[in-house]
Amino acid sequence: MTAQNKKVRIAVLISGFGSNLQAIIDACRSGYIPNAEVCAVISNRKEAYGLERARQAGIAAVYFPLKPFKDQGKSRQDYDAALADLVASYRPDWIVLAGWMHVLSMAFLGRFPGRVINLHPALPGAFPGTDAIRRAYEAYQRGEITHTGVMVHLVPDEGVDVGPVLAQQEVPIYPSDTLADLEARVHAVEHELLPTVLRKLVLGQLQPRQAAAEQRTNPTT
């Protein structure tokens, strides 16, 4: 394989069901994300169904837990450094956090500057951290918001869901919605937005540094 047609390699870190991982796998294999492949799927939870998705797709699936590091008296930074070594061994061009429930330190992020992407089921500045969809639903019930959304952003440092935004999309909330209704609507947007961002990155239509600069001058971009 020549340099011209060498595939873009995407490593995906997960902690759960892996529906967004599946969306990436499908988009790569259909050609929507052109000339790209998922090179590895890594989970910090053994029971994560996303690992089975990877195995079924013939993709390297690795369970890499934090507990053994804690048992040996090692720090989260030690874990992150070892995780970085593992991820680097697959030579990824991009690292995608798709439901990865672990705040990464600079021991990991410093190894992949400008190449770590996170998906978060809320708009910039809203509901960082876990249970974002439930918290948005409850805020709607209290009359505090009229909609929620999804964003894809870079992860430059240890801030939680605050990196430069690559894309965002609003998701409506309706008076008749149950939490399950809202979750389904948010996930449907996630499954479209994340592959779209990856497609633009692979095609060179989206430049992370430019996106960061544009966000500083136009926060709604």
Q: Work out the number of other CB atoms within 10 angstroms of the CB of residue 38.
A: 26
β-bridge partners, 96: 12, 117
Catalogue the active-site residues. Answer: 120
Distance CA 55, CA 41 (A): 9
Q: Distance between CA 221 and CA 216 in Å, rounded?
A: 9
Q: Please provide the distance, in angstroms rounded to a whole number, between the alpha carbons at the two ends of the chain.
A: 38
* CA gap 148, 141 in Å, rounded: 12
Q: For residues 106 and 85, is the Cβ–Cβ distance under 8 A?
A: no
